[in-house]
Structure 1
Amino acid sequence: MDRTVKYNWFAKVYDELMDDSLYPKWAEYTSQYLNKDQHILELGCGTGILALELTKAGFDITALDLSSDMLSLAYDRQLESGIKFPLVEMDMRNLSELESFDGIICYSDALCYIETEEEKGRIFSEVYEKLNQDGVFLFDVHSTYQIKEFDQFSYHDEVDGIVFLWDSYPGNKDDSIEHQLTFFVEKENGQYERFEEIHKEWTHSLDMYTELLKKAGFKTIEITADFGQKVNNKSKRWFFAAKK
């Protein structure tokens, strides 16, 4: 299959799976800690939806992702919208080649794709080194409660000739989950071609995230849940605002 065609159907499915209402909330959360004249780096930008929204709102943002496919979709969004911002293909575990920033953000549970505490701690250290004095690191992760809620989750739907199945199962260690995504993409002859992807996510306790942030050097750490709510035992998403 032509890669451009693959991008097109994957974009449709990715955007269908994502809740559009979350992007304005992430933008609002960002604006609570960062001003529009500050330079921001987004880690795990995906298809660039949030970076585009933040740029429209006047923020100066650079968007980074490890996936060239995702960045290609983000570039297509730039062409369609006429709005440009720097796109960087890079592993968030090594930011040494980048300049410094006033703020670094990482949403949509992107950090949950990093398996171990050690790897997350390395990312926190990289972020700390790339922040200017008084810089802020904003990110969210799945709570341990949400990971358990994903167990046996199943969602099936169809959009524009693409049938997709999303089924989740317990992962290979505590507080982990595996999402099996199956796509049936309609071809010109009316037949369907099958594709599969496995997405693995891991989270850790609140205490572990706090410990890793402090070890990286962050002095002030504010923790909330679900876009401004107080943390409780059924919070789905934890938010961290860590100041250098």
Structure 2
Amino acid sequence: MMYQTFAYYYDLLMDKSLYQQWLDFTEQRVGTLAGQQILDLACGTGDLASLYAQRQNGNGQVYGVDLSEEMLSLASQRLANDQVDVTLLQGDFRQLSQLDLPPLDLVTCYDDSLCYLTDLSDLTTTFKQVAQVLAPQGTFLFDLHSLYQVNEVFPGYMYNYREEDWAFMWASFAGEASNSVTHDLTFFVWDDALGGYDALNETHHERTYPLATVEAALQTAGFTQIQTFGGFAGEAITATTPRWFVQAQRG
């Protein structure tokens, strides 16, 4: 299961400045978050959900949904430390309507999380589920890896990181499906009992889709007023844009 093995180390590696940028983009697109019912889909360790709740200052409610129990456990600790009220729920993108959610004003899904849906039918199902939990005229904001990022940047990409008692290796390869990539992630964690490093390995598969395909799937799910952007500031998409941002409204 994604990140189930090493959510703690994933959280340590995450560039925390990105969460403020996602918050800024969200407020740029929808305005004040106070008074809104908000869902952070694929909430991970709760950083962005916490920022949402801090912006609300008790006026509104934030929900966080993630598939990983370990991620949600870390999120619960973070939210308690931040002294904010966020309702955490374990669930699948494709089954949101089965969760205990009110009609939502805003759903966000950032950090390329939708790219883990490597089948177009699953992506379309997720869009339909988001539409079901949104109130009429509710807003859906998300991002995706661009075709350039998946097909030109990731294949052959390698990254290594080392601390005193743990190290990380990341290698990416072109996937078998069109516009897909495979990430081989390995953490080496020092184990005193072993007197050596314990290797924790996970393989992640991601896929993106042409924007026209994404927009068609959104329309099938009942979304309108679809807009696309090439960055956190809402800039235009170019041939080398690494991440696409999308805004859509439930019709």
Calculate the TM-score normalised by the size of structure 2: 0.89
- Tell me, in whole angstroms, the C-alpha distance in 1 between the residues paired with 2:198 and 2:80: 29
Q: Does the alignment pair 1:141 with 2:137?
A: no
- Equivalent in 216, 221, 231 of residue 216 of structure 1: 221
Partner of 1:72: 73
| Counterpart AA for 2:94 | R
How many residue pairs match? The answer is 237
Instruction: Give the match for residue 35 of structure 2.
Output: 37
Asked if the contact 1:41/1:64 (under 8 Å) is kept, the reply is: yes
Distance (whole Å) between structure 2 residues aligned to residue 50 and residue 204 of structure 1: 25
Deviation at residue 67 of structure 1 after TM alignment: 0.8
**Counterpart amino acid of 2:41?**
L
Maintained 8 Å contact 1:33/1:136: no
SS in 1 for 2:102: coil
TM-score, normalising length from structure 1?
A: 0.92
Paired residue for 1:203?
Answer: 208
Deviations 1:1-56 (A, max 9, x none): xxxxx98x642x21343222211110011112333211111110111111112212
Task: Say yes or no: does 1:153 pair with 2:157.
Answer: yes
- Give, as a single letter, the amino acid of the residue that structure 2 aligns with 1:22: L
Q: Deviations over 1:118-148 (max 9, x none)?
A: 1101111111121112100000000010012
Q: Is the 8 A contact 1:124 1:212 kept in 2?
A: yes
The 1:160/1:65 distance shift into structure 2, 3 A limit, reads farther
Moved more, 17-26 or 108-117: 17-26
Work out the CA distance in 2 between the residues paired with 1:154 and 1:120: 28
SS of equivalent to 2:11: helix
Structure 1 residues 56-135: aligned runs within 5 Å: 56-58=54-56, 60-97=61-98, 98-135=101-138
On the 8 A contact 2:7/2:71 being kept in 1, the answer is: no
Q: 2:175 matched to which residue of 1?
A: 171
Cross-structure match for 1:192: 197
Instruction: Give the AA of the match of 1:162.
Output: W
What is the alpha-carbon root mean square deviation over aligned residues? 1.6
Residues 231 and 238, structure 1, Cα contact 8 Å, conserved in 2: yes
* Residue 78 to residue 96, structure 1, CA distance change in 2 (3 Å): same
Matched, 1:18 2:23: no
Structure 1 unmatched ranges of 5 or more: 1-5
Give, in whole Å, the separation in 2 of the partners of 1:74 and 1:119.
26
Cα deviation, residue 160, structure 1: 4.7
Q: Which runs of 5 or more structure 2 residues have no equivalent in the other structure?
A: none
Q: For 2:85 and 2:188, locate their aligned partners in 1 and report how far apart those are by CA, in whole Å.
A: 33
**C-alpha separation between the residues in 2 aligned to 1:46 and 1:163?**
21
Moved over 4 A (4+): none
Q: Please give the secondary structure, in 1, of the residue aligned with 2:86.
A: coil
Q: Does 1:238 align with 2:244?
A: yes
Q: SS at 1:94's partner residue?
A: helix
CA distance, structure 2, for counterparts of residue 117 and residue 103 of structure 1: 23
The separation in 2 between residues aligned to 1:79 and 1:131, in whole angstroms, is 27
CA distance in 1, matches of 2:12, 2:242: 20
Equivalent position to 2:166, from 158, 162, 168: 162
Counterpart of 1:212, as a letter, is A
Aligned equivalents of 1:159 and 1:136: distance in 2? 41
Between 42-51 and 187-196, report the one with greater CA deviation.
Answer: 187-196
Report how far residue 159 of structure 1 moved: 2.8
